[in-house]
Structure 1
Amino acid sequence: MTITAAEAEFAALFCASPGEICGRSLSDLLRAGAPARLRHRFTDLSEGRANWFTERVAGRHGGGRVFAADLTAIAVTGPAGPAGLVLLLCPVRDADTPGPRELTLSELDARVLEGVASGASTVQLAGRLYLSRQGVEYRVGLLLRRFDAPNRPALVARAHALGLFAPGRWPPQVLPDLVD
Structure 2
Amino acid sequence: MKTGRRSRYPLRVCWAARGASYEGQLMVEPVSDPGGGPSPLLAILRVDEERPAPDEGPVYRLTPQEARILALVAAGRTTSVIDRTVGLSADGVNYHLVRMGRRLDVPNRTALVAKAYVLGVLSPTAWPPEPSP
Q: What TM-score results when the alignment is normalised by the length of structure 1? A: 0.44
**Alpha-carbon separation, structure 2, partners of 1:144 and 1:171:** 21
Identity of aligned residues (%): 38
Which position in structure 1 is the counterpart of 2:71?
A: 114
Which position in structure 1 is the counterpart of 2:54?
A: 57
Measured on the aligned residues, the alpha-carbon RMSD in Å equals 1.6
Which position in structure 2 is the counterpart of 1:141?
A: 98
What does 1:144-159 align with in structure 2 at a 5 Å threshold?
Answer: 144-159=101-116
What does 1:19-98 align with in structure 2 at a 5 Å threshold?
Answer: 54-59=51-56, 66=57
Q: How many angstroms does 1:131 deviate by?
A: 0.4
Residues 1:170 and 2:127 are matched in the alignment? yes
Q: Deviations over 1:95-132 (max 9, x none)?
A: xxxxx6x4211101111111111111000000000001
- In terms of Rg, which structure is larger? 2
- Consecutive unaligned residues of structure 2, counting only runs of 5 or more, are 1-49
Q: How many angstroms does 1:55 deviate by?
A: 2.8
Question: Structure 1 or 2: larger helix share?
Answer: 1
Q: What TM-score results when the alignment is normalised by the length of structure 2? A: 0.58
Q: Deviations over 1:77-103 (max 9, x none)?
A: xxxxxxxxxxxxxxxxxxxxxxx6x42
**Alpha-carbon separation, structure 1, partners of 2:52 and 2:126:** 24
What amino acid is the match of 1:162? L
Aligned length: 84
Q: How many angstroms does 1:57 deviate by?
A: 2.5
Residues 1:129 and 2:86 are matched in the alignment? yes
**Alpha-carbon separation, structure 1, partners of 2:129 and 2:69:** 11
What amino acid is the match of 2:85? R
**Alpha-carbon separation, structure 2, partners of 1:167 and 1:137:** 24
Q: How many angstroms does 1:58 deviate by?
A: 1.1
The answer on whether the counterparts of 2:122 and 2:130 sit within 8 Å (CA) in structure 1 is yes
Runs of 4+ in 1 over 3 A off after TM superposition: none
**Alpha-carbon separation, structure 1, partners of 2:60 and 2:102:** 13
**Alpha-carbon separation, structure 1, partners of 2:96 and 2:52:** 33
Q: How many angstroms does 1:164 deviate by?
A: 1.4
